Amino acid sequence: MDAKVISIIAAAVAVSVGSIGPALGEGRSVAAAMDAIARQPEAAGTISRTLFVGLAMIETMAIYCLVIALILLFANPFA
Amino acid sequence: MTQGSPLATTVVFHVGPLLVTRPVVTTWGIMTVLAVGSWLLTRRLRPEPSRRQAILELVVSGIESQIGEVVRQDARPLLPLLGTLFIFLLTANICGVVPGIQAPTGKIETPAALALIVFLSVHCFGVRARGLLGYLGSFAQPKLIMLPLNVLSEITRTFSLMVRLFGNIMSGEFLIALVLALTGLLVPIPLMALELLVGVVQAYIFFVLATVFIGAAVGGEANETSEAVASPATPVE
């Protein structure tokens, strides 16, 4: 296998494996926020703002994987 | 493989050795529209507002109250920078739906420039609020040994601010182009609606994170928020 094929496979692995963790984390945090809003509907504004910011933080990990995949595909230093 | 790469940009024209790329031209267009639009809207302000002025006041005071809720102090000094940032990002993210226009935030340079602006203004506001020594001393909190980590977190959070905006907008455009190439003409419309939502949410997130960073730089230890704890003092039951 030459470097091009290896980097295509590596890009696919990076995105697929790297999105598992953020998906689980986002699911947990949305579930917790739903629970909190159901218990305290008057705090919904604060909770959803914090939720959005937190989701952005978690999502960054998946975006990092995407960037790695893009670098491997389009700006590969070895292939 | 480099054809159609999301990291490459098309050059529109040259000014001497400078290459002016397409996102830059789009950004100039958005800047012109926003500047002329706000000049036209604020030309005749009256104490008893017309309908147009009422909407304008609603937008401005809404942004101000959002900033105030995050920084827990007077939002007025931060309003011009952060409000402009939010409105610009909102326009830039959703202008991709207009045919023939690409969202400038979908290329790496525009988010990089915006993140750099946030990075520099955090230090400007911090030095102005606490004095040079006081602000530099805040990097050695809570212990001197934390100094490298604090400096590192300044850099990485700016980087992640850039990559987050770029990745979200670019991947949306990429997805739409891919679906359009694989299927028919009208199929990607639900995806474009989703992309509108993502654009608004990303503009909001960028704005809130910039507010949190600046708020942490101006505030004292009571307001010292790291990136993970983005909202101050959420009420718990």
pLDDT in tens, B163-178: 889 988 888 888 888 8
pLDDT at B220: 54
pLDDT at B76: 86
Tokens representing A68 are: 């790695």
Confidence class of residue A37 from pLDDT cuts 50, 70 and 90?
A: very high
Mean pLDDT by 10-residue block, N- to C-terminus, for chain B (237 residues)? 63 81 90 92 83 89 89 85 94 87 87 94 90 85 83 89 89 86 85 89 91 83 44 43
- Give the integer Cα–Cα distance in Å for B207 and B91: 13
Contacts B228 to A, Cβ<8 Å: 57
Q: Angle formed by the axes of helices B51-71 and B79-94, to 10°?
A: 110
Nearest to A50 among B160, B230, B237 (CB): B230
Q: Which parts of chain B are beta strand (E)?
A: 11-15, 18-21
Is this prediction's pTM over 0.90? no
How many CB pairs (< 8 A) connect A and B? 63
Q: Would you call A56 an interface residue with chain B, using a CB distance cutoff of 8 Å?
A: yes
The owner of tokens 């102005």 is B128
Mean pLDDT of A21-33: 94
Q: Would you call A46 an interface residue with chain B, using a CB distance cutoff of 8 Å?
A: yes
Q: The dihedral of CA B195, A17, A52, B139: what is its sign?
A: negative
Minimal C-alpha gap between A50 and chain B (Å) = 6
Testing the interface with A: which of B156, B162, B205 to mutate, by most A Cβ within 10 A?
Answer: B205
For residue A22, pLDDT beyond 90: yes
Determine the residue of chain B that is closest to A57 in CA distance.
B228
Phi-psi region of B183 (alpha: psi -120 to 50; beta: other; left: phi over 0): beta
